[in-house]
Amino acid sequence: MKRLFSRAVPWTLRADVLLVTLALIGLGFQAIAESTKRLAPQENLQIKMAAATRAVRCFETIRQYRMGTAAATDFENDPEGSGLIGQEYTLTTTDRGVLEAKLTSVNPNFAALFVDYFRELRLRPGDPVAVAMTGSFPALNTAALAAIEEPGLRAVAITSVGASMWGANDPKFSWLDMEKLLNDRGLLHTRSVAASIGGSNDRGRGLSPKGRDLLQGAIERNGVFFIHEPTLDEAVLMRIAIYDREAGERGVRAYVNLGGSSASIGTRIGGTLIEPGVNKKLKPYNWTQRGVLHHYAGRGVPVIHIQQVETIARDNGLPIAPETIPSIGEGRIFHREVYDLRIVVPAFLTFLLLCFGVLRSRHRAAVIVREESAVELRPGTDTSPQRSTG
């Protein structure tokens, strides 16, 4: 070792050895830091677990109720037979849908994500939350209501009963029927205060007369007020009036949009311009059609916009189209990785000092070499060895 660091050894070789040694020390410190890593609970863990548990119980109730039906036995498109994935086409299918998005939504841990959203908005027990639901994502409807009820918030829900492909598009078992089932079993306590056919123009444009009749029948058999205004603008105003009336003196404290109801978001393209998740303020666009969401955002009411489900899942560590329904508590919504800073910080500072020392030594060696080279190259300097005359 002494020979390696003697002046006879080129400084470049010494520097290379130091750098390799430094790298090995750095790897050692990294290993020490990784050994301190552990999972720490996220905020509101108990409420998140309770909301997700309630969502699971709702999912299981719907699955058992639909056991043996055509939708629940299609194990290719609904691997778990959850009953929350509908058929591709029925008389009440209003729009195109993506099966992967529907499978992604069948995850009780979305309830925990909604809890995060509501906590971010600092909602208090009893605060009214306006919820715009559709038949397209029955699992997300369930998760949102579970997350609203668990901490004691109050949901005011209006439903567009029509559903896109793979949603709650069974004419005999719409989202309103699911909602009633869950209320009858005591799992949820929220019922829609009003409903429309949904689909284009909120009046089922594009459906057959038979399809529109089936959706109207679902509204009537569930005893829900039927919104059937002549124009989309009037349907929007009717919904606003109902939300404001039901919210009472406290007023709507947050607005949740689930899916792509034209009365809620205006147009499909307009919906893609709104950031998924929490929006405390909308970006200024020249909206071609304004819905209820735009109205409340204009009042300063925060908006939770749930579209692009796969993007939301990916951003929050939830699986995309899983083959099995995820277990409660999976993902960084519930736990986060943390390190023991009492060990990591001193190790990091020590490594920084070592880096500084190596770089400083390397710089000094380079200066010495340059000075020696300058002496050798100076004119009139005889650097040849002297002969002895004796």
Query: pLDDT tens digits for 170-182?
Result: 999 999 999 999 9
Site of tokens 């037979």: 81
Q: What is the pTM of this model?
A: 0.79
Angle at 306 between CA 88 and CA 113, to 5 degrees: 115
Name which of 238, 155, 189, 156 is nearest 54 in CA terms.
189
Question: What does the alpha-carbon distance between residue 193 and residue 217 come to, in Å, rounded to a whole number?
Answer: 16
HSE, CB side, 13 Å, CA atoms: give it for residue 31.
6
Asked whether residue 355 carries a pLDDT value surpassing 90, the answer given is: no
Of residues 227 and 44, more confidence is placed in 227
Contact at 8 Å (CB) between 102 and 78?
A: no
Q: CA–CA distance from 159 to each of 8, 226, 239 (Å)?
A: 85, 10, 10
Contact at 8 Å (CB) between 196 and 202?
A: yes
Q: Could you tell me what percent of the chain has a pLDDT over 90?
A: 61
Name which of 372, 278, 321 is nearest 80 in CA terms.
321
Copy the structure tokens of residue 387: 């002969």
In sequence order, the 6+-apart residues with CB closer than 8 A to the CB of 144 are 110, 111, 114, 131, 133, 155, 256, 258, 306
CB under 8 Å, gap of 24 or more: what pairs does 217-220 form? 217/171, 218/161, 218/171, 218/174, 218/176, 218/177, 219/161, 219/176, 219/195
**Confidence at residue 1, expressed as pLDDT on a 0 to 100 scale:** 47
Asked whether residue 326 carries a pLDDT value surpassing 70, the answer given is: yes
Residues counted in the chain = 390
Question: What does the alpha-carbon distance between residue 271 and residue 17 come to, in Å, rounded to a whole number?
Answer: 59
Average pLDDT value for residue range 122-129: 96
